[in-house]
Amino acid sequence: MSEKLNQLKAILGEVSDLNHAASVLGWDEQVNLPPGGGEARGQQLATLGKIAQEKFTSDEVGRLLEDLKSEYADAETDDGAMIRVTARNYEKAKMVPPSFIAEQAVTASKAFEAWVEAKGKSDFSIFQPHLEKVVDLVKRYVSFFPPADHPYDVLLDDFEPGMKTSEVKEIFGSLRPKQVELIKAIAASKQVKDDFLHKNFPEKKVWDFSEKIITKYGYDFSRGRQDKAPHPFETTFSVNDVRITNRFEKDSPLATLFSAMHESGHAMYEQGVNPAYERTPLESGTSLAVHESQSRMWENIVGRSLPFWEHFYPELKKAFPTQLDGVGAKAFYKAINKVEPSLIRVNADEATYNLHIMLRLEIEIGMVDGSINVRDLPEIWNAKMQDYLGIVPPNNAKGVLQDVHWSGGMIGYFSTYALGNIISAQIWEAVNKDIRDLEDQFRKGKFDELRNWLTEKIYTHGHKYDPQDLVQKVTGSKIDSAAYVRYLTKKYSDIYGL
């Protein structure tokens, strides 16, 4: 290994340390921080973000990358991939002033505190001025880069490298009518009963059961933990410190189980990254869509499957005998997969979930290109909910204020959830070609072979490959919705007798 490569890795390691330290503060902000600490936390995050940006975009890093590019041109090697990803990140980061990073951190911290209050009171006016500042900063961020085909491309690229707005629109455009057709066929069928899911389930018992499930999945609690937060998320401080958060909703108590499965899918990805990639730009998952493919796979394709519940349901019924009295495993399976237009994205069934994402994508594009004003969001949100799902939120807490993402400036993120659904089905078909008895394994509560396959094919590579290249390697094709349509059609045809 050359001396210059060692010098570069030393700097990148320090940048990684700073960013992970900021992540610890961000995790604490959502889990432990008292209401009065928000402003100070924003300043702390701003300082760390500014220092990390200055260190990463230094002339020294630029010179080292220039000197190393030709020596490590083979992207199939770990060092070659690291140089390629670092150079790409460097060129982007160089365009953004460190002072802007600091300003954005302060704004996001204040916006998060305002969002928590606004959601609690269902009062959009509390959040509005903060979101307006967030959107203004997002537009400024876009202005730092050369003109793209669409300004939203710049934001999307941060979460899904190389993806264009036009590509996402095309994928969604072909998928939406097929999902709408399926939803209509389901609506015309005999409906599934799920009233027993909304009974009073004791919070601690539900929480404990969620941890039992994800422990069997393979989420390593010696390198992680599950805490409470207003909105579930996963965060990584190291391959040996990958944490998740969750929440309990009284009107949808078992949603906690599926949130845990979802976040553990993210976490197992991060725990499975090659430890040699620690403190380099390869240390995390390759993109948000590939990441979401894992969270959605473990939550839905595995966690809402009949074989899964043939194993876990007897234990669940033992834990909640009164609530589930007279309910068989098949009835429970159908209930947790009931298709019904709903208000809350994270609790939406698989058939309608992507419509929630398409709605958000339209709004985000509108905010970025200026065709939608923040002050009009509640009205626009409700109108689009009526258009997409035929229902209107009774209040803003269950409408425009339900998601935390915009408070943190994560505009460009939402489409990756639907892309992740699509990729998950492609990967699932590839898995089943290699492992023929997965359903029998699930019935026995065994998930090791699936997790090991995913670790070998996806997790261990971290960010070594670009997302489309990784999907191609694993599934034989780039991102394509056909497998997802097959998956949904088969699943719901069985449940609803289509």
Active site residues: 263
Q: Alpha-carbon torsion 115, 116, 117, 118, what sign?
A: positive
Q: Give residue for tokens 């505009």.
A: 411
Angle at 344 between CA 343 and CA 345, to 5 degrees: 120
Contacts 24+ apart (CB under 8 A), 308-316: 308/442, 309/333, 309/336, 310/442, 310/443, 311/442, 311/443, 311/444, 311/445, 312/213, 312/445, 315/209, 315/212, 316/209
| C-alpha of 375 from chain center | 27
Q: Give residue for tokens 């019935």.
A: 443
Q: Which two tokens stand for residue 15?
A: 């940048």
Q: What is the pairing mode between strands 226-228 and 234-238?
A: unpaired
Find residue 164's DSSP bridge partners: none
Find residue 236's DSSP bridge partners: 242
CA atoms within 13 A on the CB side of 215: 11
How far, in Å, CA of 142 to CA of 132, rounded?
Answer: 15
Q: Which two tokens stand for residue 61?
A: 């890093």
- Residue type, position 229, single letter: A
Q: Give residue for tokens 């085909």.
A: 149
Grouping H, G, I as helix, E, B as strand and the rest as coil, residue 60 is helix
Closest CA relative to residue 265, chosen from 449, 454, 441: 454
